[in-house]
Amino acid sequence: MATTLRDLLIQRAARLQNRPALTTSDWGTLSYAQLRNRAEGVALGLLAREPSPSWHCATGTAWDWMAELAIAASGLLWAPAGPAVPSEVLGGICFNDEAGRGPYHAREQVVQASTPFTAALNHGELMARLRRLNGQLGWDHDTEVSLPLTRLGHAAIRAALWSALYAGAHTVLAGETPIDPSARFKTSSPVWQELPFLDLL
């Protein structure tokens, strides 16, 4: 069982390989294996640079989610006040930098359940919250979750992305969708409802 966010990414990619993980208008549909590769490409770019203990990313594109996954998998801190992930790491000349491969693999020994992910939560605490929420949501590998790309920086959307990864669901990042803040998200519903995710992160 995964105990860290790094484990979660690796295990979902290994188990679900060719199943759809993420769909965007720019990228089409990425499988779970491709999702891991893209996130780790960002991680290699980050770890090949002068190390920073904290980062954030707010481009308003799907690269923000790749950056968050990369930061988590590298055992770094997601911090809104931290430096922004450089654009050249997000698919640019520093993406998938081989100089970061050794440091990234070395992080496997460093990232533990007690490793902080945000100022408020470590990996183990967020994993426990994801486990509880997934029990309420009932999401699984057959769930497709549509989320508004325009709200990607909001904590509830980020929480839903983590929940979808935990469940092995297929996330679709699209234009703004209607929001019903008082209803719980149903697996079969096409409507994004944020209430279950407000206190996750």
Q: How many domains does the chain have?
A: 1
CATH number at residue 171: 3.40.50.12780
Is residue 98 packed enough to be buried (19+ CB in 10 Å), middle (13-18) or exposed (0-12)?
exposed
Check residue 194 and give its pLDDT: 86
Give the whole-angstrom CA distance, residue 68 versus residue 161: 10
Give the whole-angstrom CA distance, residue 85 versus residue 44: 12
Is residue 174 packed enough to be buried (19+ CB in 10 Å), middle (13-18) or exposed (0-12)?
middle
Give the whole-angstrom CA distance, residue 33 versus residue 48: 22
Q: Give pLDDT tens digits for 15-61.
A: 999 999 999 999 999 999 999 999 999 999 999 987 789 999 999 99
Check residue 50 and give its pLDDT: 79
Domain interval for residue 69: 5-197
Spatial CA neighbour of 56 closest among 82, 76, 75, 74: 82
**pTM of the predicted structure, to 2 decimals:** 0.91
Residue 99 structure tokens: 């100089």
H/E stretch holding 68 reads helix 63-73
**Residues for the chain: how many in total?**
201
Q: Give pLDDT tens digits for 60-103.
A: 999 999 999 999 999 999 999 999 999 999 999 999 999 999 99
Check residue 180 and give its pLDDT: 43
